[in-house]
Chains A and B, each alone.
Chain A
Amino acid sequence: MPIPGKSAAPSGPVAAPLGTRPASSPVTVLGGLPEVARGAEYPPLVETPIFAYFADATSVTFVDGEALYLPIKVGFEAGIQGVRDGSMLAASIEYEQRTNRRMMIPLDVKVMAFGVEHGGYVQRIELAPDRRGKPRHHHADVWTRYDVVGAEAIATFDAEGFIAFRRSLVDLLGPVHPGVIQATRSKTLQLAEAHRRIGHASPGMARIADSIEAQLAPRT
């Protein structure tokens, strides 16, 4: 029905407006966002050098009343303790073994961490390479596990596994010397007492002193 006062619409084919063309490329209706290409994801950790644990007959602490060797972590990096470019570790190892009378714990010793057996105690984690693709690594012991949560790396430490490792050091060094046990006990008691003294009987310091002394007693 023509609109009154207006001319009638043309009845033949209508010419498209200038510049308008029908779509000729395929059109897809999206049901969701397209996949975005993602590169490899790396944990947000800092670069750390390779290291070894050294066993020292005088490095002992109490855990639940048990005197256990506490291994000493020595990082190997050029410039540190005589280590030369090209990973010449001899100077650092010699310093620990000859001067400090420590024994390097072989890196391929079998250990348990988080209930799984590992053929060594050092783990290497690949980090994001530098802008030119040079690889970077974070070295940690196998008792440390990192979970990436959001933008953070959350570290969890398997204390029980590490204690079992410490217990096994008796195989390398023999039983802890009674004199070392006595000295460690005495040092622990002195530290607890220092907290009580400086704390002037404050509840907080007393609690810390109690927790230090608790190392000397078996867990109940």
Chain B
Amino acid sequence: MGDPIRTGTTPMSDILVAAITRSIGLTLGDRSGGGLLANPVLASQFLGATRLGAALGTKMVDVGWGLNKFTATSQGSDFTVETLSSAAATVTPARRGMARQVSDMARALQSMDELAFVQFVTDQTIAWQQSVVSLIASLFPSFSASGGVSGGTATWASILSAYQTLGIANSAGPYVLVLRPKDWANVASDAFALGGRVQVMPETDGYLNTVNPGFKGQFMNGNLWVYTSSELPTSAGDTVCGMFGPEALAWDAFMPEPSPATQVLLWTPLYGVEINRDSLKSEDQVVGSTHLGASIRQNAGGIKLLFAT
């Protein structure tokens, strides 16, 4: 009774079996996106609808205030006229989404509301969060600064080295580090081998993992937030992890008001989940969609870390 795995053995449409398989996958899957997006650094990189100029995207111009100094100039000579430097980056949101089909048969045969529509809302919400993280992570290879050890394993020393690189580049922090669970396991192994621990807060670790999967804690006096995620790109035998400050990236997501013709399950300014009924097939399509874009804003504010895949 009440065992969602056992439910999959009862005769029903394949959608239910697929959904249950998926739910098992959700249990074991990477759900770190939500926690990562709640980080203040990523929140500060969100542009928001008010910054979204036209449908083609938002062009952000960063002006190089404070990059020049007064220079000694002799009497009768002109002061040096400095060029006010600037850098522009464009965030162009593009349409993204996914759908699931669920038949009436499947819903009729469910035993414990595993196919309740609210579950689809959760499913689509996680999908949106993971999509944002995936989009942001896909920018890591373009960071000019490079750290880690290509073909090697992650170590605390290589993370600190990357941390120093961002400091040398005048990125004030705080920084976010996103790496794979495998990489963090290697770092933790280092710490154990050295007679220490990656962070001493045993009382709270369990709670952290439950409510904020992927969040591994704050380090370096709170200036380095560490997350694990499986949404990282690979390149030539390496996985490309990333560490970045607030100025490094910009991203945006938006949804217009829902169409009056739709049946809304969940609607937010960032993404929406709606139902499309196909009566001839006696099934529904649950559709989640958004408009999403991300770009590098200040390349020097981020560093990629290469570790063996």
Contacts and interface: CB of A to CB of B under 8 A. Distances in A.
A148 interface: no
Interface residues of A, number: 48
B276 to A, nearest CB: 13
Contacts of B94: 77-79, 83-85
A55 interface: no
A58 B57 contact: no
A99 B299 contact: yes
Contacts of A80: 135, 138-139, 293-295
Interface stretch (B110-118, B142-150, B198-206, B216-224): B142-150
Contacts of B161: 190-191, 194
A157 B237 contact: yes
B190 A204 contact: yes
Nearest to A131: B101
Contact of A194 (B101, B160, B292): B160
Contacts of B152: 208, 211-212
Interface residues of B, number: 46
Interface string B156-180: 1110110000000000000000000
Given A70-B150, A73-B236, A79 B160 contact: no
B296 to A, nearest CB: 7
Contacts of A141: 236
Contacts, number: 128
B132 to A, nearest CB: 10
Interface in B58-117: 87, 89-96, 101
Nearest to B299: A100
Could you say which of B135, B157, B161 has the most chain A C-beta atoms within 10 Å of its C-beta? B157
Nearest to B141: A73
A120 interface: no
Given A56-B144, A59-B146, A204-B190, 15 more contacts: A70-B150, A72-B235, A78-B96, A79-B96, A80-B294, A82-B92, A83-B94, A91-B90, A131-B101, A194-B157, A194-B158, A195-B157, A205-B190, A208-B152, A211-B152
30 contacts: A56-B144, A58-B144, A61-B146, A70-B146, A71-B236, A72-B142, A73-B235, A75-B233, A77-B94, A78-B92, A78-B96, A79-B94, A79-B292, A82-B90, A82-B293, A91-B90, A95-B89, A100-B142, A157-B236, A157-B237, A194-B158, A195-B157, A199-B194, A202-B194, A204-B193, A205-B190, A205-B193, A208-B157, A211-B152, A212-B152
